[in-house]
A and B are shown apart, each in its own frame.
Chain A
Amino acid sequence: MIRLVGRRLLGTLPTLLGVLVVAFLLLNVAPGDPVAAMVGERADAATIARLRAELRLDDPLPARFGHYVWGIVRGDLGRSYITARPIAQDLKERFPKTAELALAAMTLAALAGITLGVLSAVRPGGAFDRIAMLLSYLGVSFPVYWVGLLLILVFAVALRWLPPSGSGGLAYLVLPALTLGMRSIAFLGRMTRAAMLDVLSSDFIRTARAKGLGSRAVILRHGFRNALIPVITVLGLDTGNYLTGSILTETIFGWPGLGRYVLSAIEKRDLPAIQGSILFMSVVFVLVNLVTDLLYAKADPRITYD
């Protein structure tokens, strides 16, 4: 197990290096000048030239890339051009907020989505199934932006049950988590239902029923456990996505997470901030994938990685 994890982690190094190279090249050929954002709407050419020199923006690309990678090797992600703050500290502040929201959204998605899926699969075509599947269809289709604003209007402005935006206690988490998790709830519901139907029609379930097991035991112990693999896949992918920040949800709810950080870094061409964030997100994504793979083996003893 430890060897496996070690091997997998080593295997991600080329991936991360690739991410670094591609991100660096793309950012440096893209239009937009980071110094333009620093100096604002009115500046003199001499100041711009001086800042470009100070930030080594006029050095040849390979030299700049070397300098950047050397920094990373020493554990230094550099400082933001715009705010002059260390990137590592910015990420350290934003990530817990993103993780908090991601965790809440995924918990919600797992609980609601799996429950919906299992219950729908018990009596496919029944009233519950039809309503649940219609709702999940809507849930996948509605734009996040629209849902977020609608939730704010209803629960924060009209009913005043919850705060419209910001971060703080649990009350601040409800609406953004619902908005972010809605698509996952809907998708997981459909996924679980399909996987359950597939499993419930197989031979070993018939055997289990034949040997007189109660329907609850058949569905949960035998059926659900075997339907878990696709569910874990979806959970893993969504978690990876959410942990790297969600630009729309964070923007609507003024949530101080990674998504907004990256967005504003991109808008201002804050190269060190963008590169640092991309690298960080890649690491998170790789780790989540690793955990997902390990969970497969837990859910299905037939899967081994040796």
Chain B
Amino acid sequence: MRAFPELTLAALVATVACGGRGAGGRASLAYYETYDPRSLDPALSTDVPTGEMVTLVFDGLTRFDPDGNLGPGLADRWSVNRDGRRYVFHLRPGVKFHDGTPLTAADVRQSLVRVLAPATRGGRPWPLYPIAGAEDYAAGRAGDVTGIRTLGDTAVAFELTQPLAIFPKFLAMPVASVVPAPPPAELGQRPVGTGPWRFVAWQHDDYLLFARNPRYWEGPPAADTLAVRIIPEPLTRAAEFEAGRLSVVEVPFGETARWRRAHPAWLLEKPALRVVYVALNNRRGPLRDVRVRQAINAAVNVPELLASVYGGRGILARGAIPPGLAGSDTGRRGYDYDPAEAKRLLAAAGYGGGIDLQLWRAAANVELSRVAQAIQAQLEPVGVRVELVERDASSQREAARKGETDMVILDWWADYPDADNFLYPLFYSGSFGPGGNYAFYSDPVTDSLILRARRTTDDARRTDLYRRIDERVFRAAPWLYLWFPKDLWARRPDVAGWDIPVIFNGQRWTRARVASH
């Protein structure tokens, strides 16, 4: 059994290399992850590679498309009652798991209960916390989750603790995928789902192999197989792509200019739901003073950094909500580059003699490390003396979560395409540290506005609130605002039907195909 998948990979790679015609006439596709996924058990999907792979094999009740729009998944429709607290999801009829078992409402309920169960040790129960009784069950204080009820075999009702307009988006996260009940042994290694791709093989740290699910409810994928290689080194990935052995690749930063020149026809570019920023610890030393934080924003020439150090691959951030999400405002008046103003602000705050701050960076993130170095150089002339502290990502994260960093350069990836995902975790005071608020920004008015937006069911009013919150926080300068990255990918000229997803679990590879010659 062990030898078989290896042969398959070799054959696959060969078919991709010579035009991608598989044995069945349809083609094979090859994608990659930068490291081995944790597991293929949806309950363990707490990082991007795991989430992407889970998305291939499993479905949730709802899902995102490559542009980040919410759409129906295993539920073909849903309704919410007038007070916004009760949702009913109706299952799409006729859906079967890969082993042929029909999907029922009980599978849905037990999948979600399983994510909350302490014994699962998954680490990401929070998307389900809005459900009544979920937190108590996760904490071991209750024997069951009262807020999830099956309505016959074909519908599931959710009772929420309070109205939450974005709840259907929470259900599109990989962790809320539906698995068979009871789950097969070794679900994490040999998953069985309802998704577009059936699991075939997994050689750890080497590759995963998937085959099309011919009975997929949306119609089977256009290609026969999808190989997912595990390739940690960016330049090696680029080489694999250039050798014709990967269907798509993210263009390495160092190669941006060369590829733009050499292969313009291969390139795809799209703004990502992601923000790059420096969290300024609002509870630490001189950074407690809003004038100091504003001075830092005025002292750094962000457009120049973006153009030079970051290869121009981004859009200036004048707020935390990326363009493409309702509530984003890229036309907002920003902090213009003005070193004189920065000095004036520092002096006004009583730091005319300058200040000393540490800026933490993670060694493995080469691009952000370089940006940090440039920031250090630009802060020096206005009297902000920066010591760069370089650690591995894990140590950096721990220090930042404990509030031990003055400044730390980070990026934030969307879990769900909604402005809430860039406000509630990043600026709500209840999200300090591990929750995402690394700036330890705390403002009662912001807090109440964020919570009010969550309860607001009218989309237009919610969007208006987001814009107000973003504006209010921006003026308080809890961050050094940098930019929203634009993803730059290359796609093999013979590959069609694949587009960069704005959110990591928005691409299922169902339409991707290798064009016939």
**A interface residues, Cβ below 8 angstroms from B:** 30-33, 35-48, 50-51, 54, 82-85, 90, 93-94, 149, 152-153, 156-157, 160, 163-169, 251-254, 256-257, 260-261, 264, 266-269
> Given the complex, which residues of A lie within 8 Å of B412, measured CB to CB?
41
Q: Are B398 and A54 in contact (CB under 8 A)?
A: no
> Given the complex, which residues of A lie within 8 Å of B440, measured CB to CB?
none
Q: Are A253 and B230 in contact (CB under 8 A)?
A: no
Q: Are A163 and B243 in contact (CB under 8 A)?
A: yes
> Given the complex, which residues of A lie within 8 Å of B415, measured CB to CB?
42
Q: Are B13 and A269 in contact (CB under 8 A)?
A: no
Q: Are A166 and B207 in contact (CB under 8 A)?
A: yes
In whole angstroms, what is the CA distance A267 to B13 when docked?
Answer: 30
Q: Which residue of A lies closest to B242 (CB)?
A: A157
Q: Are B118 and A54 in contact (CB under 8 A)?
A: yes
Tell which of A84, A93, A261 touches B188, judged by Cβ atoms closer than 8 Å: A84
Which of B39, B205, B397, B433 counts the most A-chain CB atoms under 10 A from its CB?
Answer: B205
In whole angstroms, what is the CA distance A50 to B206 when docked?
Answer: 33
Q: Are A167 and B206 in contact (CB under 8 A)?
A: yes
Q: Are B188 and A83 in contact (CB under 8 A)?
A: yes
> Given the complex, which residues of A lie within 8 Å of B44, measured CB to CB?
83-84
- The interface residues of chain B, by DSSP majority, are classed as mixed
B325 within 8 A of A: no
- Cβ of B135 to closest chain A Cβ, rounded Å: 8
In whole angstroms, what is the CA distance A234 to B153 when docked?
Answer: 69
In whole angstroms, what is the CA distance A269 to B391 when docked?
Answer: 14
> Given the complex, which residues of A lie within 8 Å of B39, measured CB to CB?
83-85
Q: Are A90 and B240 in contact (CB under 8 A)?
A: no
Restricting to B97-146, which residues have a CB under 8 Å from any CB of A?
Answer: 118, 121, 123-126, 129, 135, 138-139
> Given the complex, which residues of A lie within 8 Å of B232, measured CB to CB?
251, 254, 260
In whole angstroms, what is the CA distance A254 to B415 when docked?
Answer: 28
> Given the complex, which residues of B lie within 8 Å of A37, measured CB to CB?
394
Q: Are A264 and B398 in contact (CB under 8 A)?
A: no
Q: Are A156 and B239 in contact (CB under 8 A)?
A: yes
Q: Are A36 and B401 in contact (CB under 8 A)?
A: yes
In whole angstroms, what is the CA distance A51 to B395 when docked?
Answer: 19
Q: Are B47 and A40 in contact (CB under 8 A)?
A: yes
- Cβ of B412 to closest chain A Cβ, rounded Å: 7
The 3 residue pairs across chains A and B that have the minimum distance between CB atoms: A40-B46, A32-B394, A256-B205
Q: List 13 A-B contacts (CB under 8 A).
A: A42-B415, A45-B434, A48-B434, A84-B39, A84-B188, A85-B39, A149-B239, A166-B206, A166-B229, A254-B231, A264-B36, A267-B364, A267-B394
> Given the complex, which residues of A lie within 8 Å of B240, measured CB to CB?
164-165
B161 within 8 A of A: no
Q: Are A31 and B401 in contact (CB under 8 A)?
A: no
Supposing A41-B436, A47-B138, A267-B392 touch, asked if A156 and B243 sit within 8 A by C-beta, the answer is yes
Q: Are A51 and B393 in contact (CB under 8 A)?
A: no
Q: Are B394 and A36 in contact (CB under 8 A)?
A: yes
Q: Are B434 and A42 in contact (CB under 8 A)?
A: yes
Q: Are B139 and A46 in contact (CB under 8 A)?
A: yes
Which of B123, B188, B189, B401 counts the most A-chain CB atoms under 10 A from its CB?
Answer: B123
B250-268 vs A, CB cutoff 8 Å, 1 = contact: the mask equals 0000000000000000000
In whole angstroms, what is the CA distance A266 to B392 when docked?
Answer: 10
In whole angstroms, what is the CA distance A37 to B393 when docked?
Answer: 10
In whole angstroms, what is the CA distance A136 to B13 when docked?
Answer: 35
- Cβ of B433 to closest chain A Cβ, rounded Å: 8
Supposing A43-B126, A47-B138, A166-B9 touch, asked if A54 and B230 sit within 8 A by C-beta, the answer is no
Tell which of A36, A257, A266 touches B397, judged by Cβ atoms closer than 8 Å: A36
Q: Which residue of B lies closest to A258 (CB)?
A: B205
Tell which of B123, B138, B395 touches A32, judged by Cβ atoms closer than 8 Å: B395
Q: Are A254 and B6 in contact (CB under 8 A)?
A: no
> Given the complex, which residues of A lie within 8 Å of B425, measured CB to CB?
42
Supposing A39-B123, A163-B245 touch, asked if A44 and B435 sit within 8 A by C-beta, the answer is yes
B79 within 8 A of A: no
Tell which of B121, B123, B129, B401 touches A40, judged by Cβ atoms closer than 8 Å: B123
Q: Are B245 and A164 in contact (CB under 8 A)?
A: yes
B413 within 8 A of A: yes
- Cβ of B446 to closest chain A Cβ, rounded Å: 18
- Cβ of B451 to closest chain A Cβ, rounded Å: 16
- Cβ of A154 to closest chain B Cβ, rounded Å: 10
Q: Are A43 and B123 in contact (CB under 8 A)?
A: yes
B340 within 8 A of A: no
Q: Are A50 and B434 in contact (CB under 8 A)?
A: no
B162 within 8 A of A: no
Q: Are B203 and A256 in contact (CB under 8 A)?
A: yes
B288 within 8 A of A: no
B235 within 8 A of A: yes
Q: Which residue of B lies closest to A93 (CB)?
A: B204
- Cβ of B147 to closest chain A Cβ, rounded Å: 18
B38 within 8 A of A: yes
B420-439 vs A, CB cutoff 8 Å, 1 = contact: the mask equals 00000100000101111000
In whole angstroms, what is the CA distance A174 to B254 when docked?
Answer: 27
Known contacts A31-B394, A168-B9; 5 additional CB pairs below 8 A are A32-B394, A83-B44, A93-B203, A166-B231, A261-B205
> Given the complex, which residues of B lie within 8 Å of A152, measured CB to CB?
235-236, 239
Q: Are A254 and B206 in contact (CB under 8 A)?
A: yes
Q: Which residue of A lies closest to B244 (CB)?
A: A160
In whole angstroms, what is the CA distance A140 to B398 when docked?
Answer: 38
Restricting to B35-65, which residues have a CB under 8 Å from any CB of A?
Answer: 35-36, 38-39, 41, 44, 46-47
Q: Are B435 and A251 in contact (CB under 8 A)?
A: no
> Given the complex, which residues of B lie within 8 Å of A163, measured CB to CB?
13, 243, 245
In whole angstroms, what is the CA distance A39 to B394 when docked?
Answer: 12
> Given the complex, which residues of A lie within 8 Å of B41, measured CB to CB?
84
Q: Are A164 and B123 in contact (CB under 8 A)?
A: no
B200 within 8 A of A: no
> Given the complex, which residues of B lie within 8 Å of A36, measured CB to CB?
394, 397-398, 401, 434
> Given the complex, which residues of A lie within 8 Å of B231, measured CB to CB?
165-166, 254
- Cβ of B54 to closest chain A Cβ, rounded Å: 13
